[in-house]
Amino acid sequence: MKQNVGPADKLIRILAAIVIGALYLSGRISGAVAIVLAIVAIVFLLTGLIGFCPLYLPFGISTRKKQQ
């Protein structure tokens, strides 16, 4: 599994997950929207922490700098 998520992308994903979690815990979102956003937050958090996004593979996208 080759990493394809760069540092800025990781930061954005983790911050988005934190914001969604805070919105949920504060009661600002609820119901079906909360469930969908919770799933999105979990995916963002996992992909941000491991540095790999499977949705980038079919499109050949990588936000990580090429190592020389």
CA distances from 55 to 33, 38, 48, 52 (A): 22, 18, 13, 9
Sketch the domain layout of the chain as residue ranges.
Answer: 7-57
Mind listing the pLDDT tens digit for each residue in 14-54? Answer: 999 999 999 999 999 999 999 999 999 999 999 999 999 99
CB 61, CB 3: distance < 8 Å: no
Whole-structure pTM value: 0.87
What's the CA gap between 45 and 13, in Å, rounded?
Answer: 6
pLDDT bucket at 66, cuts 50 / 70 / 90: confident
| Residue 59, number of CB atoms within 10 A of its CB | 7
Mind listing the pLDDT tens digit for each residue in 42-51? Answer: 999 999 999 9
